[in-house]
Amino acid sequence: MRCALCGRESDRSLCARCYAERNSIVEVGKVRVETCPRCGFYRVGGRWRDISYNSAVEESLRKSLVVHPEFEVKEVELFLNGDRGYVKLKGKLWGEELEQFCEFKIYIKKILCERCSREAGGYYESIVQLRAKNRKLSREEIEITNSIVVEVINGERENMKAFLTKVVERKEGVDYYIGSRDIGRKISRKIAERFGGTITESKKICGRKDGRDVFRFTYSVRLPEYRKGDIVKYKDRLVYITNPRLGRGISIPEMNSVSAGGRVVVKREEIEEGIAVNVDDYAAEIIKTESGETVVAESTGNIKVGDTVNLFKYKGKYYLIPKLI
């Protein structure tokens, strides 16, 4: 049999090429793309996603593309220029190689995603309260916590409740208002893992939805009284804190690794630096680096003449900590 139009050999009255020239074997319906003008996410399949414009158009094109059931598509190429698109399909129709081209318009709709809408409206499900026992928070602790909050939220990019509504610095600490209950819990745990301390969870009713009570949760993270580098009095001994998260330190003057807790008696800011100028088995003569004052402290560890040491005073007596700690 031959094609009625071109005369080529064909199993049908029209060969694949002639049939394709006179019939649409590929059509593109309306290609719609929804994007959030605030965060740049695209809504695909009913879900907001962090994908590129090209990927969003490609996903929409898949739904609107209509292909002849006997056209076996092997390759698809997509070309975009603003709100215009062009798609090329390569494949076989009735065993014959064909290329098909379609140009289409992209309809772009800008709409706030759920996250940006909630964030703009001040929505939050949880509060993470950062506090410290019997002291003020240090600026370093606040900055590290800020980075933890950002890290956790950035790790939940496509979570529509992953946002920080506001941060309130109070006299007693810092409050972080978080869009999600679960993310608030995750942040509080990471803070406790980093610094140690305790977490207290509470909730209160903030309204009703679909006949159910709606709660807001508060995660109060209380950091230990001591920080790394503080001196505490614990079980009648002085301990230099080395790991507040694990509650570990170095006993003074024995210089043994011990469990630590208790009350801070010397803050790390009060520890001075000095140089050993005379040392025996019982005492060490130290010149303070900053003031030049000479003091006598109980000899600790393997201090040698010329060593740089840390020095602190407690109840009228000076104690040494090797600089390597």
Q: pLDDT category, 325, cuts 50, 70, 90? A: low
Is residue 213's pLDDT more than 90?
no
Report the SS3 class of residue 103: strand
What are the extents of the domains in the chain?
16-110, 115-223, 231-322
Beta strands 164-169 and 174-178, pairing class: antiparallel
Residue 139 makes CB contacts below 8 A (sequence gap 6+) with none
Using alpha carbons, list the distances in angstroms from residue 284 to 239, 274, 281, 294. Answer: 20, 11, 8, 10
Highest mean predicted confidence (pLDDT) among 36-40, 75-79, 127-131, 232-236: 127-131
Among the residue ranges 3-7, 78-82, 202-206, 274-278, the one predicted with the least confidence is: 3-7
How large is the C-alpha radius of gyration of the chain? 35
Average pLDDT over residues 84-113: 88
pLDDT on residue 68: 84
pLDDT at 92: 85
* Element containing residue 91 per DSSP (H, E): strand 84-93
**What pLDDT is attached to residue 285?**
93
Percent of the chain with pLDDT over 90: 51
Q: Which of 90-99, 210-219, 224-233 has the highest mean pLDDT?
A: 224-233
Decide if pLDDT at 63 tops 90: no
The total number of residues shown for the chain amounts to 325
Respond yes or no on whether the N-terminal peptide bond of residue 244 is cis (omega within 30° of 0).
no
Instruction: State the Cα angle at 31 between 29 and 20, rounded to 5°.
Output: 35
Q: 95 exposed, middle or buried (CB, 10 Å; 0-12, 13-18, 19+)? A: exposed
pLDDT band at 67; cut points 50, 70, 90: confident
pTM passes above 0.95:
no
Residue 61's identity, in one-letter code, is L
pLDDT at 324 over 70: no
Q: Which residues contact 292 (CB under 8 A, 6 or more apart)?
A: none
Lowest mean pLDDT among 90-94, 207-211, 269-273: 207-211
Neighbours of 159 (CB within 10 A): 15
| Residue 130: count of CB within 10 angstroms of its CB | 29
Mean pLDDT lowest for which of 52-61, 119-128, 136-145, 299-308? Answer: 299-308
139 with 174: CB under 8 angstroms? no
Lowest mean pLDDT among 80-84, 220-224, 298-302, 309-313: 298-302
Assess whether pLDDT exceeds 70 at residue 3. Answer: no
**What is the average pLDDT across 277-288?**
89
Per the rule left: phi > 0, alpha: psi between -120 and 50, beta: everything else, 247 is left
Q: Is the model more confident about 22 or about 43?
A: 43
On average, the pLDDT of the chain sits at 89
Report the C-alpha gap between 194 and 39 in whole angstroms: 30
CATH fold of the domain at 231-322? OB fold (Dihydrolipoamide Acetyltransferase, E2P) (2.40.50)
